[in-house]
Homo-oligomer: A and B are copies of this chain.
Amino acid sequence: MEEIKDLDVIEELLETKQYTRLRQKLSDINIADIAIILEELEEEELLKTFRILPKSMAADVFSYLEVENQQYIITSLSDREAANIINNLMADDATDFLEEMPANIVKKLLSHASADTRRDINHLLRYPESSAGSIMTVEYVDLKENMTVEDAIQRIRQIGVDSETINICYVLDPKRTLVGTVALRYLLISPPDAVIADIMHENVIYLNTLMDQEEVARQFQKYDFTSMPVADNEGRLVGIITVDDVVDILQEEATEDIEKMAAIVPSDRPYMKTGIFETSKKRIPWLLLLMISATFTGSIITSFENALSAVPMLTVFIPMLMSTSGNAGGQVSATIIRGLSSNEIGYRDIFKIIWKELRVAIICGVTLAAAYFVKLMLFDKSGIDVAVVICLTIISAVSIAKVVGCTLPIFAKRVGIDPAVMASPFISTVLDALTLMIYFSIATQVLHLS
C-alpha cells in the first residue's frame, strides 16, 4: 500500500518536473520498494526516474528490476553510464543479468566495464548453469593467517564495507587454500594486536564450485549458516554464497517441482510474463502423451464389452473407481516426491515405505469400501453381488495405487529420471488402466460372466 502512495507522489513530481524533490523523495525509499515503483512506470518515465536516482543507489535498484526493464535501461543509457552500472553491481547480480542479455550487448557492456569487473564476471560465466560457481559472488574479505586484528580491519576498509558478505572473513594460506574463518564480531571485540591464526575458526565447511544449487540449498538448511565459502577441486577459495540466494533457489526448486507434478514442462519465467505460445508449448507435450496413453484405458473397456452389456450398471462405477485410485496414488506420489527432493527419503527406505503404504492402503481402502457399501445398500438398492464387486475393487485398487504411487517416484530417482514427473497425471493414467483390469476381472469372477 505504502508503495502505491509513493508511486502517486513520484508520478506527480515527474509530471510537474520537480526533479530535485523527486531525487530527495527517492533517497528516502528502500531500494526494493523503488524497484517495485519503477516497474509500474511507463518506459520513458522509468528511464527518467532511473537517471535521477543518486549514483550510489542506481546499481542496487537495477539489480531488483525485471529482466525486460534492465535490458531497456541498459540499452538506453550511454556506454559510460551503462558500464558504471555494471561496475557497481555485485558480481553475481551482474552475471545473472548478463546471462539474460543478447551476446552482442554483453560484449559491448563488458568492453566498457572495468578490468576487475570483467574478470569477476567472466569467471562466473564459466560455471555450468545452476552450479554453486554460477550463483556465488566473488566479493568477500580474504585475510592471511599472520595478520593482526588491526591489519584485518585495515583490509576490510580497503575492500569496502558496503556488502553484507563481510560478516564472515575468510583466512587463506599462500596457495589460497581456505584454512579458517573469522566472524566480524570477533574482530570487533579482539585486541588489535591479536593474530588471526589464533582467533580464527578452523574446520571450515565449504561447497564445491560444481555442486548443484539444490545441494547448495540443502547444505545451508543443514548448517543454518548465513554464508558459505565455495572452493574449487584443489580446495582453493573462489567465492562465497549468501543465504539470500538460497531463499531464491528454494522457491525456484519448489515451483519447478509443482510444475513437473502438474505435467508442465518447467519454465524460468513468471506466469504473467509468458506469452500464450510459450505457455502452450510447455503444456502440450505432456497433454499429448497422457492423452495417447489414456487411449489404452479406453481399449480395456472395449475388450470387456461383453461383461458391460451383460450387467450395464457396471459402467456407472467406472469414473468413481478410476478417480479414487488416481487420487489415492497421487497422494502417495506427492508425499514421496517431496520427501525425495528434501532428502528425507532415499532408495534405502523403499521396503519400509512399501510396507507402510500397504498397511495405510488397507485402512484407507476398507474405510472407503465400507462407506460406499452403505451408500450402495441405502440409496442405490443395488444387489449384494454388485456391491461386493465394487467394494473388493475399491480395496484392491487403493492398494495397488498406494504401492505404485510410492515405488514409481523412487525408481525414477534411482535411474536418474526426475521423480516429480511421476506425480498424479502420470500415475493416474497408469492406475486408470490397472483399476479397470482389476474391476473387470473381479466382476467376471464374482458375477460369473465370461
| Chain A interfacial positions (CB closer than 8 Å to B) | 28-30, 32, 36, 153, 156-157, 161, 164, 166-167, 183-189, 203, 205, 217, 220-226, 242-244, 246-248, 250-251, 254-255, 257-259, 261-264, 270-272, 276-277, 279-280, 283-284, 286-288, 290-292, 294-295, 297-299, 301-302, 305, 308, 312-313, 315-320, 322-324, 326-328, 330-331, 333-339, 342, 344-345, 349, 352, 356, 359-360, 363-364, 367-368, 371-372, 375, 398, 423-425, 428-429, 432, 436
Which B residue sits closest to A402, measured CB to CB? B283
- The secondary structure that dominates the A interface is helix
In order of increasing CB-CB distance, the 10 nearest A-B pairs are A262-B334, A254-B254, A297-B319, A294-B323, A298-B316, A280-B363, A294-B320, A224-B244, A276-B359, A167-B167
Pairwise interchain contact A360-B279, C-beta atoms closer than 8 A: yes
CB distance from A275 to the nearest CB of B (A): 9
Pairwise interchain contact A301-B318, C-beta atoms closer than 8 A: yes
Cα-based distance from A359 to B363 in the complex (angstroms): 44
Cα-based distance from A283 to B398 in the complex (angstroms): 12
Cα-based distance from A336 to B279 in the complex (angstroms): 13
Which B residue sits closest to A27, measured CB to CB? B203
A187-B188, A257-B258 are known contacts; what are 9 more A-B pairs with Cβ within 8 Å?
Answer: A30-B205, A32-B223, A217-B247, A262-B331, A276-B356, A276-B359, A287-B364, A315-B315, A318-B318
Pairwise interchain contact A299-B284, C-beta atoms closer than 8 A: no
Pairwise interchain contact B323-A429, C-beta atoms closer than 8 A: yes
- Residue from the list B263, B301, B339 in contact with A327, Cβ < 8 A: B263
CB distance from A329 to the nearest CB of B (A): 10
Report B-chain residues with C-beta under 8 Å of the C-beta of A255: 338, 342
Pairwise interchain contact B188-A156, C-beta atoms closer than 8 A: yes
- Residue from the list B276, B290, B312 in contact with A363, Cβ < 8 A: B276
- Residue from the list B217, B257, B297, B372 in contact with A291, Cβ < 8 A: B372
Chosen A-B contacts, 20 in total, with CB atoms closer than 8 Å, are A30-B205, A32-B224, A166-B185, A167-B226, A184-B184, A184-B185, A250-B250, A250-B251, A251-B254, A258-B338, A262-B424, A272-B352, A284-B367, A287-B324, A287-B327, A287-B328, A291-B371, A297-B319, A298-B319, A323-B429
Give the one of A185, A277, A349, A371 with max B CB within 10 A: A185
Report B-chain residues with C-beta under 8 Å of the C-beta of A368: 284, 287-288, 291
Cα-based distance from A423 to B250 in the complex (angstroms): 21
Pairwise interchain contact A185-B156, C-beta atoms closer than 8 A: yes
Which B residue sits closest to A295, measured CB to CB? B320
Given A272-B349, A345-B272, A360-B279, does the pair A291, B316 have CB atoms closer than 8 Å?
no
Given A255-B342, A323-B297, does the pair A364, B283 have CB atoms closer than 8 Å?
yes
- Residue from the list B220, B271, B336 in contact with A345, Cβ < 8 A: B271
Cα-based distance from A153 to B190 in the complex (angstroms): 11
Pairwise interchain contact A364-B284, C-beta atoms closer than 8 A: yes
Given A283-B331, A284-B364, does the pair A290, B153 have CB atoms closer than 8 Å?
no
Pairwise interchain contact B272-A339, C-beta atoms closer than 8 A: yes
Cα-based distance from A398 to B316 in the complex (angstroms): 23
Given A188-B187, A425-B330, does the pair A294, B258 have CB atoms closer than 8 Å?
no
Give the one of A205, A220, A254 with max B CB within 10 A: A254
CB distance from A103 to the nearest CB of B (A): 29
CB distance from A228 to the nearest CB of B (A): 12
Pairwise interchain contact A270-B344, C-beta atoms closer than 8 A: yes
Report B-chain residues with C-beta under 8 Å of the C-beta of A251: 221, 250, 254, 342
Cα-based distance from A102 to B29 in the complex (angstroms): 47
Pairwise interchain contact A271-B339, C-beta atoms closer than 8 A: yes
